[in-house]
Structure 1
Amino acid sequence: MFTASDPFLGRLLAQRYRLTHLLGQGGMGRVYLAQDLLFGGVEVAVKLLSQPAMDEQARLRFEREAKACAALGQKSLHIVKVSDYGITADGVPFYVMEYLNGQTLKDILATRSLPLERFFRLARQIGLGLKAAHEGILLEGQRIQVIHRDLKPANVIVLADESLGELAKLVDFGIAKLLNTRESLSLTHAYLGTLAYSSPEQLEGLPLDARSDIYSFGIMLYQMVSGQMPLQPTTESFPGWYQAHHKQRPLPLEELGLPLALPAGLSDLILSCLAKDPAARPPTVANVLAELERIQARAQGSPRGASQAVALQFPAIPSGPLFPSAPPLATAGTLRLAPPTMASENRGSLLWARLIPFLGGSLLGLALVSWGLGRLLQRPAAPVLSGSRPSPAATELEDERPGAEAQPDTAPEVLVPDILGSSAGQDEGATRRDPAPELEPYSGPVLRAFPLQTSREVVRAALG
């Protein structure tokens, strides 16, 4: 359909897409860089298939396949997004997809094999895109599984990404076969694909399932690790590749003399994907991805099945009466998480641990206040002077005692210092009173109580 002069360059498709540059070409068609004039010249990629739509049935088949590719791009980050499709005036089918400004995996592998870290990263992303296709999409109310049928490094675009470092996307589902449909939706029952990456059953034209893509994926994995193809045909023709895929046994990766230490189990996994019999291959891409993750985890010294892409460390929780021994941290994907039961069991203990310093300080403060009050209350009481009048309450209590006799009222008494000596008091006939026992011993001036009349006479005598 395409001539050497390429009449499609500069052409306007669907009154919207102007083709500006040829990006690449293959057995199924050509890919052009185009400007979407409806959106102000935004760059998109347009693929024109080399096989024309000959009749209405072929046109409907292509339309359903284009819809399936668009649904896959919405489902997985690792599949190119298809935004439009159509057929040119001269019957050439085309579809429009996002423009990926990156490198193909084929270009990357042309110079070197991949370091193990990059190998695991890209292999996982390619596998996730393939897994999404095999799991299927809803089309016209029906669950449809999609197999790629042309999986190869040239159909993987790797571009820079801020969050992932680099992002791998599968492209060219243009010859994909849709399974579980009432009618065959493949472009043809004849062979379609790339010889070097086709499964034995694909070369025979047999019905295909997801295990055919797994075979192609295995060839890519072998090439990504070693930089070599697992099979070497005698010729690059169809018969040469047919014999290679049916008869040759790939060498184990350990026998290639690679300059890197291969993780245990990696060679066995890749060779299992390359089994001639589909029944001997891993049944799903999910199985391949799970085993790749375990191999990577063991190689990096982590527990089985745990990824080391991210390893967040949490502070250890102490053990003791307030902190029961914590169960080991669980792993979820690439992030180590404390199990939910840990938070619920230790929540009360952690709260008490935070309250202990506050309660201790409060108790210490109360103890200091109590000690101060005790010291204040233990100070000696003021001395009770002999002859002081009892309190009214005491008098009432004394009077109320059984057998108590009424005492005659006496003259009021005053307290004077014993400045005259004890002889003066004896001359006046005053009865000397012993100090109260609670005043013994007391070295200060003694206050004595005298009747008021006697006190006046003593004072007069003292003053002359």
Structure 2
Amino acid sequence: MNWKPQPGDQIADRYRLNDVIYADESLSLFAADDLAVSSPVLVGVFGQEDSEPFRASDTAEKLLRLQHPNLASLSAIDLWRGRPFAVGERPAGRTLRDVGSLSGMRILMLINDLSAGLDTAFAETSLCHGLVTPDLIVVCDEQTPDERFVTLGFGMRALAGPARLGPPVPNGANFRTLVFCSPEQLRGEPLSRPSDVYSAGAVLYWLFTGHPPFSADLGSTAELLQSVASRPVPRFREFVSEEAVNPVVESLVLRCLSKQPQGRPTSVREIAEILEEELRIDVPRAAVAPNHQSMTESGDRSGESERMPPRAEPESVEAAISDSPQTDGPNTPARDAE
């Protein structure tokens, strides 16, 4: 089967593929439209040819049953032209890449929401995500008391199997994703929880410094693989002022980015707990209380939640993480690097 999905293709007479979000030889992810209900969706087309057992597998059934407020659910797993594909929700809201800068409080909310979704999914399916990136995290109900972070595409990497890297796609989408993937994942090894910890740490690094751990404009996939496998991760001070760096936060993020899985925190939940302890802020746990109070980038509260504890020192969180949470500060990702 030589068919390869492209933007503009229509799958199963229902799903129109739009922008490429990520592509390798085993998985292509697209922002798409469900024409039957006029709704945006995420479509993953898998590289392997398969048949009916794929749809009827225990893994597929578990994924279709999975529901969590911080995970976009899969709505369909099917076949088209001999190729399996999956369809997932794409809720309204901007992606984390589009939002860019987050205040300290909202970074903690992000990690708590990410942990809540991934922990629930692992408990119910024994699967990991494998593609935790700013392009697959959506900020829903932004700047309201109900703000939450929703991770898209859970299960698609697991269904597709390990990454089989091919040439870069024209819009650079695969490089923008690969810079958030762990060394073992880039080597094509099976997914594991430490891989998701690495990716969560890479997202934090991007938020705190404005750059991914390794450059997204390297000349080839081979160069990127070599950098991720062997180069040390640059310290925060290479991108932000020395005064802006909290050494405990930096140490935590760099531990997440350890080359060896056993050197990382055991879970995203552990990352959240260390951040909360260091910043001395109690953030409502999404699994218990999905409604969160959000903050503007200047630190003003835009919606009050009864579950949110008062802040005795309004600027302490931002000061602990960076010298400014506003535009052009270290907490503002530089898009031209990606």
TM-score scaled by length of structure 1: 0.52
> Could you say which residue in structure 2 is the equivalent of 1:127?
115
Q: Secondary structure at the match of 1:197?
A: coil
- Counterparts of 1:19 and 1:203 in 2: how far apart (Å)? 29
Distance 2:146 2:55 in 1: 40
Q: Which residue number corresponds to residue 384 of structure 1?
A: none
Seen in structure 2, the aligned counterparts of structure 1 residues 104 and 288 have a Cα distance that, compared at 3 Å, is: same
For the structure 1 residues 157 and 233, does the alpha-carbon distance in structure 2 shift closer, same or farther, using more than 3 Å as the test?
Answer: closer
Match of 1:53 in 2: 49
If asked which structure has higher relative contact order (CA below 8 Å, sep 6+), I would say 2
Aligned counterparts of 1:21 and 1:189: Cα–Cα separation in 2: 23
SS at match of 1:83: strand
Deviation per CA, 1:182-239: give whole Å up to 9, x if none: xxxx534554684212211122233442001111111110001121122237834222
- Corresponding residue for residue 104 of structure 2: 116
1:102 aligned residue: 93
Shift of 1:7: 4.0
Contact (CA 8 Å) 1:78, 1:129: kept in 2 or not? yes
Select the residue among 166, 184, 187 that pairs with 2:160. 187
Question: C-alpha separation between the residues in 2 aligned to 1:166 and 1:196?
Answer: 27
The separation in 2 between residues aligned to 1:284 and 1:274, in whole angstroms, is: 13
**Alpha-carbon contact 1:44-1:97 (below 8 Å) kept:** no
* Identical positions, percent: 23
- Of structures 1 and 2, the larger Rg is shown by 1
- The Cα offsets for residues 138-180 of structure 1, whole Å up to 9 and x where unpaired, read as xxxxxx4111112211111112258645221111124333xxx
Q: Decide which of 181, 190, 193 is 1:198's aligned counterpart.
A: 181
Is the Cα–Cα contact under 8 Å of residues 246 and 276 in structure 1 kept in the other structure? yes
Partner in structure 1 of residue 75 of structure 2 = 83
Residues 169/272 of structure 1: CA separation in 2 closer, same or farther (3 Å cut): same
Indicate how the Cα distance of structure 1 residues 20 and 49 shifts in structure 2: closer, same or farther if over 3 A, else same.
closer
1:259-338 aligned within 5 A: 261-263=244-246, 265-297=248-280, 306-307=282-283
Aligned to 1:314: none
Structure 1 distance, partners of 2:33, 2:74, is 14
Seen in structure 2, the aligned counterparts of structure 1 residues 45 and 233 have a Cα distance that, compared at 3 Å, is: closer
Number of aligned residue pairs:
274
The separation in 2 between residues aligned to 1:211 and 1:174, in whole angstroms, is 16
Q: Which amino acid aligns with 1:30?
A: F
Amino acid at match of 1:123: I
The correspondence for 1:71, drawn from 65, 90, 93, is 65
Pick the aligned partner of 2:153 from 172, 179, 202: 172
**Paired residues of 2:265 and 2:271 also in contact (CA < 8 A):** yes
Distance 1:173 1:287 in 2: 20
* Partners of 1:205 and 1:105 in 2: CA distance: 26
2: distance between equivalents of 1:30 and 1:191?
17
1:32 counterpart = 2:32? yes
SS at match of 2:258: coil
Residue 23 (structure 1) shift: 5.4
The structural deviation recorded for 1:60 is: 4.4
SS of aligned partner of 1:86? strand
2:156 aligned counterpart, secondary structure: coil
Contact 1:29 1:49 in 2 (8 A): yes
Alignment correspondent of 1:154: 135
Deviation of 1:103 after TM superposition, in Å, equals 1.3
Give 5+ residue unaligned stretches, structure 2. Answer: 166-173, 285-291, 294-306, 311-338
Matched letter for residue 145 of structure 1: S
Q: Deviations over 1:313-358 (max 9, x none)?
A: xxxxxxxxxxxxxxxxxxxx9569xxxxxxxxxxxxxxxxxxxxxx
Give distance in 1, aligned partners of 2:144 and 2:64: 24
Structure 2 vs 1, CA of residues 48 and 198 (structure 1 numbering), >3 Å: closer, same or farther?
closer
Instruction: Work out whether residues 205 and 253 of structure 2, in 8 Å CA contact, stay in contact via their aligned partners in 1.
Output: yes
Tell me the amino acid that sits aligned with residue 170 of structure 1. Answer: T
Shift of 1:254: 4.2
Q: CA RMSD in A?
A: 3.3
Sort the Cα spacing of 1:191 and 1:133 in 2 relative to 1 into closer, same or farther, 3 A.
farther
Amino acid at match of 1:91: G
Trace 1:389-428 onto structure 2 (pairs within 5 A). none
Letter in 2 for 1:157: V
CA contact (8 A) 2:71 2:152 kept: yes
CA distance in structure 1 between the aligned counterparts of 2:119 and 2:160, rounded to whole angstroms? 22
